[in-house]
Structure 1
Amino acid sequence: MSTNPGPEERNLSEWSRRLTQALQILDLEVDHKMLVDLAEESSENVGPHAGLISTFLVGYAAGLSKTSGRKAAEEAVQTAADTAFQLAATGLEGPEGEGWKDSAQ
């Protein structure tokens, strides 16, 4: 198994590096595969643009959480992503109600 990233992963890494520098969030390590998987599953089960909205909302939810440091930020992203994956798996027919209200933070 090769450890060399393919062209898409190199492009995503370079883009993430440039964008995080421009946004001045230098200590963030972006999990490209997780975000791409979430975007694809959301788009497939909900609609073509649901992936964009899902990944944005995961980042937003993570940003709202009270974190300090890189590890805590990564955990906040993962927690929000886990919730998004659960909903994306069921599309628009998924669970609703109070049980989901504070699940991402």
Structure 2
Amino acid sequence: MSTHPDELEQRRLNDWSRRLTQALQILDLEVDPAMLVELGEKSGRTVAPNAGVVSAFMVGYAAGLTTTSGRKSAEEAVKKAADTAFQLAETGLEGPDQPGWKGSAQ
């Protein structure tokens, strides 16, 4: 039985995410590797090749600063931060700042 390379990568990213959450003792976090990969690719295209790494870190950091209670709130914090990053990645360094971005991820 052969596995498509994309499926194999997705499975390995899911496994890696689970392993990291266990090692970092953040067991209540459900990671969406596909969303992070998409953000990384989009940021990499519009800003610079390594912008994806920076984007993923900053989304996680912003979500981590948000006071949450339970998995649903944590997932909402990640989604809100990721949505802001995706919006910014649309135009990369060239786009104008949007009014009201202050506090948009937290």
**Which TM-score applies when normalising by structure 1?**
0.91
Deviation of 1:12 (Å): 0.5
Question: What corresponds to 2:51 in structure 1?
Answer: 50
In 2, the alpha carbon distance for the partners of 1:26 and 1:49 equals 28
SS where residue 24 of structure 1 aligns?
coil
Structure 1 window deviating more from structure 2 (88-97 vs 59-68): it is 88-97
Count of aligned pairs: 101
Which amino acid in the other structure matches residue 45 of structure 1? T
In the other structure, the counterpart of 1:65 is 66
Letter in 2 for 1:75: E
Map 1:84-103 onto structure 2 (within 5 A): 84-96=85-97, 99-103=100-104
State the shift of 1:19 in Å: 0.6
Query: 2:35 aligns to what SS in structure 1?
Result: helix
Distance 2:70 2:57 in 1: 21
CA distance in 1, matches of 2:88, 2:95: 6
Structure 1: tracts of 5 or more residues without a match: none
Which ranges of 4 or more aligned residues in structure 1 deviate by more than 3 Å?
Answer: none
Q: RMSD of the alignment, in Å?
A: 1.3
Q: Is the 8 A contact 1:59 1:77 kept in 2?
A: yes
The one-letter code of the counterpart of 1:31 is D
CA distance in 2, matches of 1:97, 1:36: 24
1:13-60 deviation line (CA, Å, top 9, x unaligned): 110111110000011111111111000000000001100000000000
> Hey, what's the Cα distance between the residues in 1 that align with 2:51 and 2:26?
25
Instruction: Report Cα offsets for 1:48-77 as digits up to 9, x if no partner.
Output: 110000000000000000111000000000
TM-score for the superposition, normalised by structure 2: 0.90
Structure 2, gaps ≥5 residues long: 1-5
1:97 Cα deviation from its structure 2 partner: 6.2
